[in-house]
Amino acid sequence: MNVFEAIRENGITARQAAEHCGIKINRSGMAVCPFHKDKNPSMKIDNRYYCFGCGEKGDAIDFVAKYCGLGKKEAALRIASDFGIGFEDNRGRKPPPKRKRRLSPEQRFEKAEKGCFRVLSDYLCCLREWKE
């Protein structure tokens, strides 16, 4: 199985790839397009992506290739590395080693914020049980 088949088989969506790149996507799947000057969300991102402003479209590999300025093969290898997807190269080589996923500052803040809310909600539940 080559890297492209492995990514498709694992179901990596354009939304997952975009979020991994630090793109903010709202509840309805819309985001500000990173490929042209845009102030309002004009890109629909789900399994695939499509920008109503500039017409860019494609899947997860196309998104990473365009966003990072890579070829499709390099983008697929990067996705496989970032998401920990194993595959076998046609030439019998092993896949590149897994890299630790880097979070953007916004993603680190959201993760810390969710952790704080989780601790506070657990504390509130304990207080309610203690009062009863």
Output the pLDDT for position 127: 85
Kindly list the distances between the CA atom of residue 8 and the CA atoms of 53, 61, 97, 124, in Å, as whole numbers in the listed order: 27, 10, 20, 43
H helical segments located in 41-104: 60-68, 72-83
Output the pLDDT for position 6: 85
CATH architecture of 3-99: Alpha-Beta Complex (3.90)
Output the pLDDT for position 91: 58
Within 10 A of 100 (CB to CB), how many other CB atoms are there? 7
pLDDT, block means (10 residues), the chain with 132 residues:
84 90 90 90 93 92 91 90 78 59 81 90 85 72
**Domain residues of the chain, as ranges?**
3-99, 102-132
Give 101's contacts (C-beta < 8 A, 6+ positions apart): 20, 82
Look up the pTM and report it.
0.64
Output the pLDDT for position 90: 58
- For the CA atoms of 32, 47, 12, 76, what is the dihedral angle to 10 degrees? -70
AA letter at 29: G
Give 7's contacts (C-beta < 8 A, 6+ positions apart): 60, 61, 76, 79, 80, 85
Output the pLDDT for position 107: 83
